[in-house]
């Protein structure tokens, strides 16, 4: 019985042809594929503009630079996320301030985020964790306090909130194309998008040494550009994303467990997480049935050693402490067959 992995990278003849087209063009960087990938992605998610880059982490760093966030500034982030959400803030010399998560949807808790606003706060990074849209209250809070709303949409290709796709919900959004994500590029990759026309031009410059058309570097940036082969593969994957996300939704709807989905939103099911009182037992049961599963974020970000000097290092964010170690990710990817789903459900049903 073959194992059922948590993610299966997709490629086909069309991806291969796109990669070869980019290679044989002789133009491996700064070419038409990256430009078109950005345009097509912006068009797909409803953003004003999008620029592909090295990775989701690079996109988050670029978002900080784009919004002039730096030393002395604070940015509110959820305590339960991939560490890059927080370290992007630290890398520009600003301070991440950790807010707790919601008990039901597991995204940043808007009330806790609001309580952490100070005169130094510049932005809130909402993470659409596992593909679940963050609360629309974040938009109101940011508007009321004059803050930027940044979407960490690394796990949210296809997520919608009030009919708007991730990438066009906040002021700036950051996507990852890491191989396990809902779409990928055959290597590392990311995308930064904006809904603010005035930011579009600088967004492009920041991932290219802060250079303008006359090749003068007018602000601090570096080389965070995507390669042409990756962009060409990304364009093919983008043409499949709606179908893949519906397959994820269909798979999720057949699981013998139902996580809570926010009203007026559509989940993109990057991960399907089961909240388990005994995560090790569940992982072992799944393992015995040949199914991969894992806890993604057992340790809240503020408790990672990189933040040992942070004022919140020793502070508990109660929902993060309680929920994060109990969330077991199980396979939900588009390559699952109905037999796979039956096998997953039998293993889930063994739960006490």
Ligand X SMILES: Cc1ncc(COP(=O)(O)O)c(C=O)c1O
Here's the x/- map for ligand X, 74-93, by CB under 6 A: it reads as -------xx-xx--------
> Cβ of residue 341: shortest distance to ligand X, in angstroms?
24
Interactions with ligand X, residue window 212-231 (CB under 6 A): none
Is the separation of the CB atoms in 211 and 201 below 8 Å? no
Instruction: Please state, in angstroms and rounded to a whole number, the distance separating the CA atoms of residues 319 and 251.
Output: 28
Q: Binding to ligand X by residue 204, rule CB under 6 A?
A: no
Q: In whole angstroms, what separates CA 237 from the centre of its chain?
A: 17
Half-sphere exposure of 310 (CA within 13 A, CB side): 25
**Alpha-carbon distances, residue 216 vs 67, 212, 332 (angstroms):** 20, 6, 47
Here's the x/- map for ligand X, 150-169, by CB under 6 A: it reads as --x-xx--------------
User: Which residues, at least 6 apart from 178, have a Cβ–Cβ distance to it below 8 Å?
Assistant: 55, 56, 154, 184, 188, 189
> Cβ of residue 88: shortest distance to ligand X, in angstroms?
8
> Cβ of residue 149: shortest distance to ligand X, in angstroms?
16
Q: Give the SS3 label for residue 290.
A: coil
Of the pair 126, 279, the CB lying nearest ligand X is at 126
Q: Binding to ligand X by residue 329, rule CB under 6 A?
A: no
Instruction: Please state, in angstroms and rounded to a whole number, the distance separating the CA atoms of residues 116 and 74.
Output: 10
Of the pair 131, 221, the CB lying nearest ligand X is at 131
> Cβ of residue 345: shortest distance to ligand X, in angstroms?
26
Q: Which of 7, 34, 37, 57 binds ligand X (CB under 6 A)?
A: 57
Of the pair 55, 193, the CB lying nearest ligand X is at 55
Q: Binding to ligand X by residue 237, rule CB under 6 A?
A: no
Q: Binding to ligand X by residue 61, rule CB under 6 A?
A: no
Q: Which of 127, 161, 226, 245 binds ligand X (CB under 6 A)?
A: 127
How would you label 146-176 residue by residue, b for 16+ Cβ within 10 Å and e otherwise?
Answer: ebbbbbbbbbbbbbbbeebbbbbbbbbbbbb
Which tokens is 149 given?
Answer: 């709303």
Of the pair 78, 110, the CB lying nearest ligand X is at 78
Question: Nearest-CB residue to ligand X?
Answer: 56
Instruction: Please state, in angstroms and rounded to a whole number, the distance separating the CA atoms of residues 231 and 244.
Output: 19
Q: Binding to ligand X by residue 112, rule CB under 6 A?
A: no
**Alpha-carbon distances, residue 122 vs 60, 252, 310 (angstroms):** 15, 36, 18
Q: What H or E segment, with its residue span, contains residue 97?
A: strand 95-99
Of the pair 135, 285, the CB lying nearest ligand X is at 135
Of the pair 110, 131, the CB lying nearest ligand X is at 131
Rule CB under 6 A: which residues touch ligand X? 55-57, 81-82, 84-85, 127, 152, 154-155, 176, 178, 190
């Amino acid at each position: 019985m073959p194992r059922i992995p948590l993610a299966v990278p997709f490629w086909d003849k069309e991806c291969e042809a796109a990669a070869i087209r980019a290679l044989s063009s002789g133009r491996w960087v700064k070419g038409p594929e990256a430009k078109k990938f950005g345009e097509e992605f912006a068009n797909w998610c409803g953003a004003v503009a999008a620029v592909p880059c090295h990775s989701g982490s690079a996109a988050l760093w670029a978002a900080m630079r784009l919004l002039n966030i730096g030393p002395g500034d604070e940015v509110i982030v959820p305590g339960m996320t991939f560490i890059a959400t927080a370290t992007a803030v630290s890398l520009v010399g600003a301070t991440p301030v950790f807010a707790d998560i919601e008990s039901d949807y597991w995204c940043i808790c808007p009330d806790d985020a609001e309580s952490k606003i100070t005169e130094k706060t510049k932005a809130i990074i909402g993470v659409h964790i596992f593909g679940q849209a963050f609360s629309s209250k974040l938009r109101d809070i940011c508007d009321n306090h004059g803050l930027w709303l940044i979407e960490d949409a690394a796990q949210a290709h296809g997520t919608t909130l009030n009919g708007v796709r991730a990438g066009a919900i906040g002021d700036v959004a950051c996507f990852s194309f890491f191989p396990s994500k809902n779409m990928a590029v055959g290597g590392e990759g990311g995308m930064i998008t904006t809904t603010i026309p005035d930011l579009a031009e600088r967004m492009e410059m920041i991932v290219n040494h802060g250079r303008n058309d006359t090749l003068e570097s007018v602000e601090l940036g570096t080389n965070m550009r995507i390669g042409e082969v990756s962009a060409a593969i990304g364009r093919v994957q983008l043409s499949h994303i709606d179908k893949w996300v519906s397959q994820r939704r269909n798979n999720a709807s057949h699981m013998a467990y139902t996580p809570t989905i926010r009203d007026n939103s559509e989940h993109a099911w990057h991960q399907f997480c089961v909240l388990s009182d005994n995560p090790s037992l569940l992982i072992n049961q799944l393992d015995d049935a040949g199914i991969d599963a894992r806890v993604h974020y057992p340790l809240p970000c503020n408790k990672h050693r990189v933040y040992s000097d942070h004022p919140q290092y020793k502070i508990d964010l109660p929902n993060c402490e309680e929920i994060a170690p109990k969330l077991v990710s199980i396979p939900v990817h588009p390559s699952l067959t109905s037999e796979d789903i039956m096998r997953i459900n039998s293993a889930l049903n063994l739960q006490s």
